Structure 1
Amino acid sequence: MPHWIHIVWRSAAALAVMFLMTRLLGKKQLSQLNFFHYIVGITLGEVAGFISLEVESHFMLGVAAILVWTLIPLGMEKLSLKSKLVRDWFDGKGTVLIKDGKVLEDNLKKSMFTSDELLEELRKKNAFRVADVEFAVLETDGNVSVMMTKENQPLTPKSLGIRVPNEQEPQTVIMDGEMMDEPLATAGFSRGWLGTELEKLGVAIENVYLAQVDGYGQLTVDLYDDQIKVPEPSQREVLWATLRKCEADLELFALATDQNKPRKLYESCVKRMQGVIEEIEPYLKR
């Protein structure tokens, strides 16, 4: 067998083995690369390259080495799930670099982190002044997590005392011009409803590249032809305006009547309508 064919099939087999072993290690190997994962990743890559090119060596010996370098980290991961001591030993602990707005120089030196590196990491988090940072910690994967002081944190509805409902996951109901039945059913709608909504927008399904339904039943579409303008969904705005009009009409009826009993009835309806509007306002005015 020619050497190049030998190398091709060994490389393909090594790639398949590496893929299986990486799937076995899980996504943490990709997302949280600490010291231990870094060593394991480099070694697995070296072994895979070795068994691909060293045609004189036995292929299964390399596979055995990859298997060992996979099973040991996998065992350590399982053990770390049950023991904080093992977890701290392998993953390490985060190091506090800034506390109460003060830089902890000793911790910087222990982490071999310079002032320039600290400022660079803070700038990545849009913190250009150390005085604006309340707390910063060097994580085990090398990233710096930053918490700004209270006055420098962005406003949220909760900080303003505004109650808002939880956002539901949008469902993609059309992809590449094809209806997606499962997401459509998850959103609680049918193909007939989707066809009606597309007719309202004046577009055909074959012209739709992507369409999504949000938690409020509003359909947004993206067309293949970007020159065509699609109207923005306005169901919530129309419903809000209709409710306010009903409230205004009831108040007008109460003012227009001279009879005491109908006036009280209208005023009672106005209060009930105001309660309904106040209750659903967070859902409509977003």
Structure 2
Amino acid sequence: MKVDTNLYVSIGLKLIVAMIGLLIMTRLLGKKEISQLTAFDFVSSLMLSELVGNTIYDDNIHLSHLLFALIIWTLLALGLEKFIALFPRLSRYAAGTPDLIIRDGIVDFKAMKRNNLDFAQLGMLLRENNIFSLREVAYALFETNGSISVLRQKDPEEISGNAVDQQSSVSLPAYIIENGSINEDTLKRLSRDREWVDQLLQLSGISHHERVLFAEWSDSSGLYYQLKEVKKD
């Protein structure tokens, strides 16, 4: 039985190039590709696995073809990331947005069903945040990567009885402006409008929201922001 040495060498070279190419691509796209998996990242991972898997064992696809495909995919991914950074609203459509599962100590069961969550899964996610009772939670956000972020109550030991009758001791901050763009989804959740944002900015001496890099609103702490042009004395 004759062994095709060239085939083994070709497969080995493709594997080496694929590994190096994927490592470089991951570094270029940032550590978030490793630390979390959004819907876009999941699709990207599937595409890359198909791309590398189909080219390694195909004799008709040469090493240059694999390199070309990896370079084009990296450029497309980088270009999309830069484009989305310029238009924050697109990011919310491409990667999704966090969903408020617990608001002011009240569990939103409709939001749980919308995200296919049951109480056993919610309890597990809370325990991963070292929380073993719902009374400890003021706000809980179900993130786009499947994790949960929690803002705790200040005095959970003093909370008992009907959750609806309780008054939360903390307020969840929210981004109302991102890179000069007003977050309409956040305003809707806060039951506010653009006129309210403009009034807030005018009180802070800001003429237009496009000058603002980010603005965060909290019912308990008010407005916190940073302008695009940072001036230091």
TM-score (norm 1): 0.50
CA RMSD, 1 decimal = 1.9
Contact 1:14/1:51, CA 8 A, preserved across alignment: no
Q: Which residue matches 1:128?
A: 132
Percentage identity across paired residues of the two chains: 29
Cα shift at 1:144: 0.2
Contact 1:11/1:52, CA 8 A, preserved across alignment: yes
Q: Which residue matches 2:46?
A: 42
Instruction: Find the aligned partners of 1:143 and 1:16 in 2 and give their Cα distance.
Output: 30
Partner residue of 1:68 out of 68, 72, 79: 72
Q: Which has the higher helix share?
A: 1
Q: Which residue matches 1:81?
A: 85
Unpaired runs of 5+ residues, structure 2, are 158-233
| Structure 1 counterpart SS, 2:110 | helix
Partner residue of 1:95 out of 87, 96, 99: 99
Q: Which residue matches 1:17?
A: 21
What is the one-letter code of the residue matched to 2:155?
Answer: E
Cα shift at 1:33: 1.8
Instruction: Find the aligned partners of 1:128 and 1:26 in 2 and give their Cα distance.
Output: 33
What is the one-letter code of the residue matched to 1:120?
Answer: M
Q: Which residue matches 1:266?
A: none
When structure 1 is superposed on structure 2, of 27-36 and 42-51 the one drifting more is: 42-51
Partner residue of 1:8 out of 6, 12, 24: 12
**What pairs with 1:1-286 in structure 2 (closer than 5 Å)?**
2=5, 3-152=7-156
Instruction: Find the aligned partners of 2:108 and 2:38 in 1 and give their Cα distance.
Output: 23
Instruction: Find the aligned partners of 2:19 and 2:36 in 1 and give their Cα distance.
Output: 22
Instruction: Find the aligned partners of 1:48 and 1:23 in 2 and give their Cα distance.
Output: 18
Question: Which structure has the higher relative contact order (CA within 8 Å, separation 6+)?
Answer: 2
Contact 2:135/2:156, CA 8 A, preserved across alignment: no
Encode CA deviations 1:30-77: one digit per residue, 9 max, x unaligned: 123211011112221231222222233233333333233222221111
Residues paired across the two proteins, number: 153
Cα shift at 1:24: 2.1
Contact 1:101/1:131, CA 8 A, preserved across alignment: yes
